Structure 1
Amino acid sequence: MADKRGVTIRELAQAAGVSIGTVSRALKGQPGLSEQTRSQVLDVAQQLGYDTAKLRTGKPRRILFLYNRSIGSLANNPFYSYVLHGAETACREAGVPLSIMSVLAGDDVASQVRRHESDALLGAGYFDPEAMDAIRRCELPLVLVDHFFPGVRCVNDDNQLGAWLATRHLLDGGARRVAAIFGPLAHHSVSLRAKGFRRALYEAGRLFDPDYEVTLDPALEYRDAGRDAMRRLLALPEPPDAVFAYNDSTAIFAIEFCRERGLRVPEDIRFIGYDDIEEAAHNKPSLSTVKMDKEALGHVAARALIEGDIEPNDASLPVELVVRESSRVGDVDVDVAGAEAAPARKPGRQAAAAKG
């Protein structure tokens, strides 16, 4: 007898003993399956009374752009504003409407998604496991940007290489005590940037020193958290002479605090950020940073949904070091060409002068 509850594709996959992707291909008549598997899935679907009208055919009718409400409004978040613009451009080119929805822990995501009448989801930024479970229970094609989740199509920049290039730039410029300011390390991009920072120290012969790595206090407002992180670094017995900040906004707040303390940038302390937001070039001093094509992140993710390219994968877009006033050594820029292939060196001690 047919199951009148409204069988989900996940339940159908479990009953047929195959993956959700296999069920989707079988019901859509897509290639890549044996006739035996296809027949098995169709038989189980008929037995359970699966509603095949749930399945999307062709390009999506509407894509829903999801973001974590905890980051604040998109208007005040330069990074995700660019990602959204790239996604909107791809959708406009394909004639697919795009709508926006924020997600917060405890939300009834499924009912909210239904109200948007979307049949594909583009998730931007970090979502905790509870939110990811709620999003995936919608059983719609999903692509993530600036996040990673097993079994999902993801689009990121090369975070680890970018942080390595930034840190290597500071080290090659003669910095002896390189510090870092990070956001929550549970975030995929932040954790990879931390790995890139530590890798650069290791290859330069500096032993990682946890005193020179601080994390933003989540209890503080964003600007206050950046200033507080810099205050903690300057309170060390031997303060850093260079800082890598995991994003540009944090670097700008840290520079602001240093200048209020009478420190000159870059003469007394040098800075480099990440993302190359518009404010980076106009800051005083202008901020060195790691540039990636933020609009391309959204554009690639939206195109993947439009073209049905949602097989699990973690695509990495290229990054580029941009040297400006905040990290310049005299009038000479550090050459980092071919840096990715630089040989490793024996580790020594990070900030040896600080530790005696």
Structure 2
Amino acid sequence: MADKRGVTIRELAQAAGVSIGTVSRALKGQPGLSEQTRTQVLEVAQQLGYDTAKLRTGKPRRMLFLYSRHMGSLANNPFYSYVLHGAETVCREAGVPLSLLSVQSGEDIAGQVRRHEADALLGAGYFDPEAMDAVRRCELPLVLVDHFFPGVRCINDDNQLGAWLATKHLLEGNSQRIAAIFGPLAHYSTSLRAKGFRRALFEAGRLFDPDYEVTLDPALEYRDAGRDAMRRLLELPQPPDAVFAYNDSTAMFGMELCQERGLRVPEDIRFVGYDDIEEASHCKPPLSTVKMDKEALGNMAARALIDGDVEPSEASLPVELVVRESSRVAPPPADAAPARRTKRQAVTAER
């Protein structure tokens, strides 16, 4: 029999040929498994001498909300503030304390998690492979929001559809030079939004011009990066007349720069963002955007952890396009000369 101190839940899952979530359910006696699978896990645990006392039963005693520090503060990323609030609401109702921790590669992530005494992890946003590996080595139930990683329970919105709806809206408004501003394409949600943008152009028979797709400079502060991306687009030989931005903050930074340069929104250039943060409806002009229930992302993730529903899977929440002034097609001027009537129309009018 193996030394109990040397057997981890990951090793037990590998030996049994199942996921960590399946091992957790089997040892906790939770529903959702066949008796054959449950028996197999328990037999392997006994053979390896796994110390079942290490696995807490019932709902989590404390949950930890993790996000990567490279995203900046939650104040700079209001999207994740909504996700956090949704998770906190569920935890408060369930009597599970929720704490917050920002992490980055190269740190002792496992040590920081232990100091929070968490027994369930909710990860929000992108984690690079090194950080993700460190999080998984904590061997705690884990659910990811706005990210995807194989073998983990993930909850996202329909990013590709949302970007497709936004770009299709700009195309239907007869914009000819539609540009896009994205964050790092390594991020799961951003890469899908880029696919949705390109798909809409392809379906409309528009050639994809890489000059009209720019990414934020990671070396710059968030606001400066958004303005810099817009500046690069405006300096093209033929600047865009419409912009899809991968989030609302970036869209508003872009609109700000355009207005400083004397461009009118939406008359000269139209904008659509993504996320529908509160500021989007209050900026001038109000920003068109793709809306999803951000708090529901946090709600679902926290509920899954509390219920022990951490089997690898991906849930996708619906999205909808919200059209506001920033992308409306301006009507023709009231004093525009009437179109010349045909001879047939003139005869009909005289009758």
**Both structures adopt the same fold (TM-score exceeding 0.5):** yes
Alignment of 1:211-222 (within 5 A): 211-222=211-222
Partner residue of 1:54? 54
- Corresponding residue number in structure 2 for 1:271: 271
Question: Helix, strand or coil: the match of 2:70?
Answer: helix
> TM-score scaled to structure 1, two decimals?
0.89
Where do 1:82-101 residues align within 5 Å?
Answer: 82-101=82-101
Structure-to-structure mapping, 1:142-291, within 5 angstroms: 142-291=142-291
In structure 1, what is the Cα distance between the partners aligned to 2:136 and 2:280? 36
Query: 1:49 corresponds to which letter in structure 2?
Result: G
SS in 2 for 1:121: strand
Matched, 1:127 2:127: yes
The whole-number CA distance in structure 2 between the counterparts of 1:34 and 1:131 is 34
**Deviation of the 1:314 alpha carbon:** 1.1
Structure 1: any 5+ residue segments left out of the alignment?
333-356
SS at match of 1:76: coil
Cα 1:196–1:18, aligned 2, differ >3 Å: closer, same or farther?
Answer: closer
The percentage of aligned residue pairs carrying the same residue is 86
What letter corresponds to residue 206 of structure 1 in structure 2? R
* Distance of 2:285 and 2:43 partners within structure 1: 67
Letter in 2 for 1:228: D
Return closer, same or farther for 1:53/1:233 CA change in 2, 3 Å cut-off.
same
Q: Does 1:298 align with 2:298?
A: yes
Contact 2:248 2:276 in 1 (8 A): yes
Q: Displacement of 1:76 after TM fit?
A: 3.3
Partner of 1:113: 113
Shift in CA distance, 285/22, structure 1 to aligned 2, threshold 3 Å: closer
Shift of 1:6: 3.4
Q: What do the CA deviations read for 1:112-170 (whole angstroms, capped 9, x no partner)?
A: 11111111100000001111111111111110000011111111111111101100111
**What is the rounded CA distance, in whole Å, between the counterparts of 2:84 and 2:254 in structure 1?**
27
> 1:217/1:72 Cα in 2 relative to 1: closer, same or farther (>3 Å)?
same
Unpaired stretches in structure 2, ≥5 consecutive residues? 333-351
Q: Which residue of structure 2 aligns with residue 345 of structure 1?
A: none
Distance 1:326 1:19, change over 3 A: closer
Q: What do residues 31-55 of structure 1 show as CA deviations (whole Å, max 9, x unaligned)?
A: 5656565444334323433111121
Give CA deviations for 1:97-122 in whole Å, capped at 9, x if unaligned. 11111111112111111111111100
Aligned partners of 1:66 and 1:101 also within 8 Å: yes
Distance change >3 Å, CA 280–CA 34, structure 1 → 2? closer
- 3-state SS in 1 of match to 2:106: coil
- Distance in 2 separating the partners of 1:283 and 1:38: 55
Aligned residues: 332
- Please give the secondary structure, in 2, of the residue aligned with 1:74: coil
Between the aligned partners of 2:289 and 2:164, the Cα distance in structure 1 is 12
State the distance in 2 between where 1:265 and 1:151 align.
Answer: 44
The two structures, once aligned, show a CA RMSD in angstroms of: 1.7
SS at match of 2:75: helix
| Amino acid across the alignment from 2:181 | I
Contact 2:267 2:330 in 1 (8 A): no
SS at match of 1:65: strand
Letter in 2 for 1:115: R
C-alpha distance after superposition, 1:72-116 (max 9, x if no partner): 222332111111000000111111111111111112111111111
Q: What's the CA shift string for 1:288-332, capped at 9, x where partnerless?
A: 111111111111111111111111111111111111111111369
Contact 1:6 1:51 in 2 (8 A): no
Contact kept, 8 Å, 1:121 with 1:140, in 2: the verdict is yes
Label 1:40 to 1:278 Cα distance change in 2 as closer, same or farther (>3 A). Answer: closer
Rg comparison, structure with higher value? 2
Do the aligned residues in 1 keep the contact of 2:21 with 2:310 (CA within 8 Å)? Answer: no
C-alpha change, 1:311 and 1:272, in structure 2 (3 Å) is same
Residue 285 of structure 1 deviates from its aligned partner by: 1.2
> Could you tell me which residue of structure 2 aligns to residue 313 of structure 1?
313
Q: Quick check: 174-183 or 277-286, which moved more?
A: 277-286
Indicate the residue corresponding to 1:103 in structure 2: 103
Alpha-carbon separation, structure 2, partners of 1:243 and 1:78: 21
Query: C-alpha distance in 2, partners of 1:74/1:15?
Result: 40
The amino acid across from 2:201 in the alignment is L
TM-score w.r.t. the length of structure 2 is 0.90
Q: CA deviation at 1:27?
A: 2.1
Contact kept? 1:145, 1:154, Cα under 8 Å: yes
